């Protein structure tokens, strides 16, 4: 038994894998730092797909994008919104908020579109969904967390339902 491990909190949440989204992104458009010293970008969703044990489909091209705020401390504050379409035709609105940060060296490699091990940076998101009543309305009745990977020209985000 590991005596250094803290005891588990009685309300520690359990997570269940829900799905992975792979998104191909347009080249970012950057607005010069504003009066608060942060830089705003616009990055549009070109295409994508998602799949999990109970759902699969595609990301609708140019149905939205991400408008991240690049803070002076190097943290990227995400605000992404776009549409998913399940294989049965159901449209799903998705909004993601989250953060990406790492050392300046790793951020520079990511900006150069190099492949970087996800353990070298923090990229986490929390989505919300708007879904019509039906087989996928479980999406707007649960809290989710996403662990993301930045790949050259795209993002891959693995979502987990908080039980």
Bridge partners (DSSP) of residue 31 are 40
CB-based contact 143:15 (threshold 8 Å): no
pLDDT band at 142 (very low <50, low <70, confident <90, very high): very high
Alpha-carbon distance 75 to 38, whole Å? 10
Specify the pLDDT at position 64. Answer: 95
pTM over cut 0.85 = yes
Q: For the chain, what is the total number of helices (H) and then of strands (E)?
A: 1, 11
CB-based contact 56:45 (threshold 8 Å): no
Say if strands 154-162 and 76-86 run parallel, antiparallel, or are unpaired. Answer: unpaired
Specify the pLDDT at position 3. Answer: 67
**15-162: which CATH topology?**
Porin (2.40.160)
């Amino acid at each position: 038994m590991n005596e250094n491990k803290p005891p588990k909190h009685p309300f520690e949440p359990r997570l269940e894998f829900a799905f992975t989204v792979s998104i191909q992104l347009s080249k970012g458009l950057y607005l010069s730092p504003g009066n608060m010293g942060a830089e705003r970008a616009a990055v549009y969703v070109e295409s994508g797909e998602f799949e999990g044990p109970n759902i699969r489909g595609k990301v609708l091209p140019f149905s939205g994008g991400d408008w991240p705020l690049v803070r002076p401390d190097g943290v990227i504050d995400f605000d992404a919104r776009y549409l998913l379409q399940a294989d049965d035709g159901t449209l799903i609105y998705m909004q993601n908020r989250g953060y990406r940060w790492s050392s300046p060296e790793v951020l520079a490699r990511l900006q150069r579109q190099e492949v970087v091990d996800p353990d070298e940076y923090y990229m986490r998101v929390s989505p919300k969904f708007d879904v019509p009543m039906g087989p996928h309305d479980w999406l707007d009745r649960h809290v989710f967390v996403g662990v993301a990977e930045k790949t050259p020209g795209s993002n891959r985000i693995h979502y987990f339902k908080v039980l």
